[in-house]
Amino acid sequence: METLEPSIPLRMRIAPYKNSIFVGVLALLLVMVFVIKLGNKTHKNEADFVSATNAFVKWEQVLDTNNDELRNLATIMKKHPELNAEYEAKLAQDFIAMQESNKAREFGSSVIQRTNQPYYSDYAKASLLVSEGKFLEALEQALYLKKQMLEDEAFWTKSQGVKNYGSGLFAFNLMRIATLYQELGMKDRELEAWSELKAFAGWNGAQKDVRIKQEGFQSLLNHFTVQDMTLLDYISAREAELTR
């Protein structure tokens, strides 16, 4: 595991690492933007939908694979397949955080199959690799995804006028690359990856690629802000550690 300097508060040491390496929110919530289509809830089904929400909330408080609330949720989802698009991604996210790779793949694979957004599904597939400890393979996929996105002019043209489309995925993928280098102990590459992230975000001056909107990088910053500590603080701490 990583070692950070003691001056970094524990909450800041844990949050970026846990979120970027193990928690599927970086992938699966992005995928969910495109796949959640619940439609109108009829009065007849309202009670089941409320029960599903309550079961999920209660299960998240314990995160136990052998739990009555989880079984209740599964029963309701079987009765109402339209709920799969909402809860499968959330369940996969939690199972990744729990390092329950088989369960994560079970639910995450369904999410991937349901989306028709190739780059987002590629990112989600890499999340499942991470949950299985296949860090090098996940890194290779993340690097290839970055290359594909940068070379796809049509993708960025499509993103014009659509808030955060593409830029959020690109920003989170750059973060993943840096943290996977960190996990693999590839210090020089990690340092380069943090520098590249800052360059694309425009945090050190002019933005490296004007096609990629700032909203995605702002979402990244917001996601990793813990009280008074920010992602920029974390990056600075890593850079200081790597250049000693």
29 within some domain? no
Same domain, 179 and 72: no
First to last CA, the chain: 19
Same domain, 104 and 128: no
The pTM is what?
A: 0.66
Residue that wins the pLDDT comparison between 82 and 210: 82
Q: What percent of the chain has pLDDT over 70?
A: 72
Average pLDDT, whole number, for the chain? 76
Domain-ending residue, one of 51, 82, 114? 114
Between CA 86 and CA 226 the distance in angstroms is 26
61 within some domain? yes
231 within some domain? yes
Same domain, 103 and 190: no
User: What CA–CA distances, in Å, run from 212 to 150, 171, 181, 202, 204?
Assistant: 9, 9, 23, 10, 16
Residue that wins the pLDDT comparison between 200 and 5: 200
Identify the band that residue 115 occupies on the pLDDT scale cut at 50, 70 and 90.
Answer: low
7 within some domain? no
Residue that wins the pLDDT comparison between 19 and 179: 179
pLDDT digit string (tens) for 55-70? Answer: 888 888 887 878 888 8
Q: Is the pLDDT assigned to residue 138 strictly greater than 50?
A: yes
pLDDT value at residue 112: 64
Same domain, 48 and 107: yes
pLDDT value at residue 159: 58
Domain-ending residue, one of 81, 114, 147? 114
Here the tokens at position 198 are 């800052």
Domain-ending residue, one of 83, 114, 145? 114
pLDDT value at residue 97: 63
pLDDT value at residue 163: 53
CB 213 within 8 A of CB 191: no
Same domain, 80 and 185: no
Residue range of the domain that includes 105: 41-114
Same domain, 197 and 99: no
Number of domains in the chain: 2
Same domain, 79 and 191: no
Same domain, 134 and 211: yes
3-state secondary structure of 226: strand
pLDDT value at residue 139: 95
pLDDT value at residue 25: 43
Q: What is the mean pLDDT of residues 218-237?
A: 82
Between CA 120 and CA 170 the distance in angstroms is 10
Same domain, 65 and 133: no
Between CA 178 and CA 201 the distance in angstroms is 14
Q: What is the mean pLDDT of residues 204-219?
A: 79
Q: Is the pLDDT assigned to residue 240 strictly greater than 90?
A: yes
Residue that wins the pLDDT comparison between 232 and 86: 232
65 within some domain? yes
Same domain, 80 and 139: no
pLDDT value at residue 11: 40
Least confident residue range of 92-96, 148-152, 192-196, 221-225: 92-96
5 within some domain? no
1 within some domain? no
CB 77 within 8 A of CB 87: yes
Q: Is the pLDDT assigned to residue 204 strictly greater than 60?
A: yes
166 within some domain? yes
Q: What is the mean pLDDT of residues 7-29?
A: 41
Same domain, 89 and 173: no
Same domain, 154 and 97: no
